[in-house]
Chain A
Amino acid sequence: MYSNMNIAIAVIAVLVGVIVVGLGVLFSMKLKEIRKRRDEEAFRARFSDWFTYILANADGDEPLFIPNAPLSKAERRIVRERLVHWIEQFKGVPQRRLIELAERMGLVSEQLKRLDSPFEWVKLDAAYHLGCMRSAQAVPGMMELLKSLKPGPLAYIPARAIAKCAARADELREVTDVLLSHKKDAQPLIADILRESELDYAPMLATFLRSSDPERVKLALAAMTGSPADGVADTLYKLTGSEEKELSLEAARLLLKNRKALTQERIARLFAHPEPDVRAVTAEAIGELGLTSSVGMLAAGLSDPEWQVRFGSGRSLARLGEGGIAALREAAESDSEIRRETALAVLRETSGRRRRTAS
């Protein structure tokens, strides 16, 4: 018991010691935070005229003035954060002028030095700010940092920064190579990072699309979402035949956005695709694009074994005017139960919508 009590008392002593240290740390952090906040408010008030001047003249012709008074470290940080915020918000001339101002104030060179720090967190902070200030000079250092990081959330910080600063397409390619090597299926995020670049990376996407590496193909498809590059329709069509469901579906989705690339033969092939999701998006796209020549194909789709293809076909028929509605009415009297039920359901939906619109 004696030894147990002794151990217990030692444990108590250690706990009390650590608590005292913890409370000390906690209060000092809080005091620091409060002081920092107060100093920032005071600085903002003192320099509010200068900030207003910068904002008002961001798109002017004259070079922007630097504050006359020398700035302390904390004040430089506040100025940097404010400029970085505006640089990220603006595009074109104001953005370029703010970057030029940041360079003249030595904010870029300051961060370039920090990029050589032995501490990872300092380098990451520097990479983020250099990215915002579009420093092409920083790309090699940031690339080195990117390659030194383990796969994970931190890797996207220098990657995004490089995309913002890259002056050459091969730098973008290198970033994508590193991120894809992490094998995280993060193509949508990498595509979002690529969109930060002012470079024309469509040729790179086109080569990715033709690549035999499915990861690259997925990236190209993710990056083209919304606006498929010109001249890739044939490659997309070829990809719709991919054995990977995700690839064939995404390729079909992109292809179906490009009306010019949609021949009757291609639509027919997509509508007969073994993958139900591909058939469903095709059925939907026919209605959206108003392809009245495909009424017969959609009418046949009402008998598809998959419900989403049947309903997609029915809804598209309803959008194709009189011809489509006539096909639906005909199907509503069909002997095939599946066909009849789909057509009736779509006709009910359509009349419900009409009633709502009328009321």
Chain B
Amino acid sequence: MREILLGYGSAITYYVVAVTLIYFVILFLSYRGVYAMRKGAAYSKFQSLAGSESAPPVSLLVPAYNEELTIIDNVKNLLTLHYHTYEVIVVNDGSNDNTLKVLIQAFGLVPKEDETIRYSIDCTQVRTVYHNPEYPNLFVVDKPNGGKADSLNAGINLSHYPLICSIDADSLLEKDALIRMARVYMENPAETVAIGGNVRIANGCTIRDGVVEDVRLPRKMWPMFQTLEYMKAFLGGRIGWSHINGLIIVSGAFGMFRKDKVVEVGGYRDGYPGEDMNIIIKLHRHMLDQKLPYRVAYCPDAVCWTQAPDTYRILSSQRKRWGRGNLKNMIENRDMFFRPKYKVFGMLTVPYNVLFETLNPYFKLTGLLALIGYVAMDMTKWPVLLVFAAINFLSGYLLAVGSLVLEQLAFQRYPRMKDMAKMIGFSALMFLGYYQLGVLWRFQGHIEYLRKNNTWGVMTRQSWNQDATTTTSP
């Protein structure tokens, strides 16, 4: 029995090493990819391009469910972007609070009778479209509650432009974020079907009139952990995956898409979380099935600032939802697993996600338990457990350091030495509970999936001015 436990534990240790090696390859690709991205961005004339008619018109879609605290700042922020032609479509998804009322009051909106919606993709019937000619590029759609995907589909049906951009209602875009993303599209419109933006955590930053004025690290523990986690995922991971056209997700908080392609795949999937991953998988599948050249790009210098959950309850709810969404997407698309037809996506991205993301909690938890069992039977073997823990910690910590180097090399968003020291310290602290909780939340998400729980979970919104909070549970 002891030998079996030790064998299994050793196998899991190798699994951890394998995951780490793959992460390193991705990190290495990120380093390679960031060079061209940064050079291309640094030497582009965003100021003039933003005012140029050559920039493609974009429809910004903002699904809003009980967002009365943040929606006005968010819309103000979006209405003042540096971009030639764009529209902002806020979709009020049957909010229970005053989201619609505050929008109507703040922007003097009235029902727009001369708007004809073409239902090119399925969505709940729109009740009213609101507009004010004084804000010609703002439209507010009011519809019964149907979920985030349904709201995005409604926004697509109303949108007037060939590119669409999904933005969360609790997020703020930097003024040049849209033009930076459009530049990536303009460099290769023939093949680009989607572009992901870089999502950063705004907790702790100073925000005035919907603009992040002073970048600071969060003061609270949970957002601080998430800042590092996002940095690792977006810089250390997504740049690399996009370099080999294997990106599996474009964050729902900020992503740009070709509308015709989204319509061709039937729009966003309704009724389940993980719609941002699902749409990207559908686009990969569609383009590869059609044997068309394409790319899902990533633009790390197009930045969107978002509010991170700052309590255990909200964070765990969010992570369980992500776990459910991930599992659902992997099960639905299991036919792509190791299918040469789906190229990098089928041969690398999907297997990586299944083996190292979806199944990660099972391998890690059982491996740890096996080694604990092995050591419990002979306490003199405690170094085995120590080695397992050390490899886990050091490999993860090295990746965190690699992401911090990438951040410092290419972006330098956190200017003070104190910030750097804090990030290095917290990167180590994450191994003392946070990562383990992440594994647990994912596992709980899988249980929720089996119980057919497909709700959005608990979500809190906090005003950007941090003077009020509200809690909603759809």
Which residues in A have some Cβ–Cβ distance to B below 8 Å?
Answer: 1, 4-5, 8-9, 11-12, 15-16, 18-19, 22-23, 25-27, 29-31, 33-34, 37, 88, 121, 124-125, 128, 152-154, 156-157, 160, 183-186, 188-189, 191-192, 195, 222, 225-226, 307, 311, 345, 348-350, 352-353, 356
- Chain A positions within 8 Å of B56 at CB level: 188
Rounded to whole angstroms, the CA-CA distance of A352 and B398 in the bound complex is: 63
State whether A154 and B39 are in contact (beta carbons under 8 Å apart), knowing that A19-B394, A26-B424 are contacts in the complex: yes
Interchain nearest-CB distance for B267 vs A (Å): 20
CB of B332 within 8 Å of the partner chain: no
CB of B454 within 8 Å of the partner chain: no
Do A156 and B387 touch across chains, with their CB atoms under 8 A apart? no
Rounded to whole angstroms, the CA-CA distance of A307 and B120 in the bound complex is: 13
User: Can you list 11 A-B pairs with a CB-CB distance of less than 8 A?
Assistant: A8-B13, A22-B402, A23-B424, A33-B412, A153-B37, A153-B184, A156-B44, A184-B190, A192-B48, A307-B116, A345-B116
- Chain B positions within 8 Å of A88 at CB level: 45
Do B40 and A154 touch across chains, with their CB atoms under 8 A apart? yes
- Chain A positions within 8 Å of B113 at CB level: 348-349, 352
Which residues in B have some Cβ–Cβ distance to A below 8 Å?
Answer: 6, 10, 13, 17, 35-37, 39-40, 43-45, 48-49, 52-56, 110, 113-114, 116, 118, 133, 183-184, 186-191, 383-384, 387, 390-391, 394-395, 397-398, 401-402, 404-405, 408-409, 412, 415, 417, 420, 424
State whether A195 and B52 are in contact (beta carbons under 8 Å apart), knowing that A153-B39, A183-B190, A348-B113 are contacts in the complex: yes
Rounded to whole angstroms, the CA-CA distance of A170 and B362 in the bound complex is: 64
Do B44 and A186 touch across chains, with their CB atoms under 8 A apart? no
Task: Tell me the nearest residue of chain A to B420, going by C-beta.
Answer: A30
Question: Which residue of the partner chain, among A184, A225, A350, contacts B189 with CB atoms under 8 Å?
Answer: A184
Do A124 and B17 touch across chains, with their CB atoms under 8 A apart? no
Do B43 and A189 touch across chains, with their CB atoms under 8 A apart? no
Rounded to whole angstroms, the CA-CA distance of A121 and B449 in the bound complex is: 49
Do A12 and B390 touch across chains, with their CB atoms under 8 A apart? yes
Q: A27-B420, A34-B415 are in contact. List 16 more A-B contacts (CB 8 A).
A: A5-B387, A11-B17, A15-B398, A23-B401, A23-B424, A26-B404, A124-B39, A153-B37, A160-B44, A186-B187, A186-B190, A192-B54, A192-B186, A225-B54, A307-B118, A353-B114
Interface class of chain B by DSSP: helix
Interchain nearest-CB distance for B419 vs A (Å): 9
- Chain A positions within 8 Å of B53 at CB level: 225-226
Rounded to whole angstroms, the CA-CA distance of A260 and B37 in the bound complex is: 45
Task: Tell me the nearest residue of chain A to B419, going by C-beta.
Answer: A30
Do B408 and A29 touch across chains, with their CB atoms under 8 A apart? yes
Do A184 and B187 touch across chains, with their CB atoms under 8 A apart? yes
- Chain B positions within 8 Å of A186 at CB level: 186-190
Interchain nearest-CB distance for B228 vs A (Å): 13
Rounded to whole angstroms, the CA-CA distance of A16 and B323 in the bound complex is: 32
Do A192 and B49 touch across chains, with their CB atoms under 8 A apart? yes
State whether A157 and B409 are in contact (beta carbons under 8 Å apart), knowing that A15-B394, A19-B397, A88-B45 are contacts in the complex: no
- Chain A positions within 8 Å of B52 at CB level: 192, 195
Task: Tell me the nearest residue of chain A to B409, going by C-beta.
Answer: A29
Do A189 and B186 touch across chains, with their CB atoms under 8 A apart? yes
- Chain A positions within 8 Å of B191 at CB level: 184
